Amino acid sequence: MVKQYESRAPAYGIVARTLHWLTVLLIAAQFVIGWTMPGVHKDTQPVGLIAWHLGVGAALIAVMVLRVVWRLTHRPAPDEALPPLLGVVSGITHFLLYICLLLVPLLGWINASSRGWTVRLAGVVPYPSLSRTGSPFGHAMGDVHGILAWVLFSLIVLHVIAALFHHFVLKDHVLQRMLPNAGSSRDSTHNR
């Protein structure tokens, strides 16, 4: 028997919700492209799906920088009704998600630089190179990128199961807080 509790915490702000769902779209695209694109080898050129992976990746990096800046300056109101242990577990999962959301793209970018590939936002604005061409460190980071993508995937699965568990089993308002149509009058984010 699952203990019921009444979550009445206000919704995430419109900016936080927009950034959350934009990240979801970009990450979903990155996984699909990353898992279907041809294997990357020494003489591979950044064309086709690989070019798409770098392009979507550049957009994701920009969105994540905005998201982290926004999150650090706009803390969501704590859900007072949430059992303390659940609050700690969700806090740790969100923190790990943020770490992976920053590290996975960063390692992909380092690897792209070590291959002599320039990462460009919208195909126009070049990002700086993060490692020299042919760097063994940059090469190794490509492997870590692929492994950490699986860690990120596992966290996302856990996160989505938790959101659905809140909605369908605990029947509280945790999922509603993050939905695009969540009430703006109950906006919870406030400047620190």
Question: Where on the chain is the footprint of ligand HEM (CB under 6 A)?
Answer: 20, 23-24, 27, 30-31, 34-35, 40, 53-54, 57-58, 60-61, 71, 76, 90, 94, 97-98, 101, 104-105, 108-109, 111-112, 119, 142, 145-146, 149, 152, 156, 159-160, 163-164, 174-175, 177-178
CB of 4 to ligand HEM, least distance (A): 17
- Interhelix angle 14-36/136-165, nearest 10 degrees: 120
Please identify, using beta-carbon distances, which residue of 162 and 185 lies nearer to ligand HEM. 162
Dihedral of CA atoms 146, 140, 130, 37 in degrees, nearest 10, equals -40
Please identify, using beta-carbon distances, which residue of 53 and 185 lies nearer to ligand HEM. 53
Please identify, using beta-carbon distances, which residue of 3 and 156 lies nearer to ligand HEM. 156
- Beta-strand pair 120-121/125-126: antiparallel
3-state helix, strand, coil in the chain (%, to 5): 65, 5, 35
CB of 1 to ligand HEM, least distance (A): 23
Please identify, using beta-carbon distances, which residue of 1 and 74 lies nearer to ligand HEM. 74
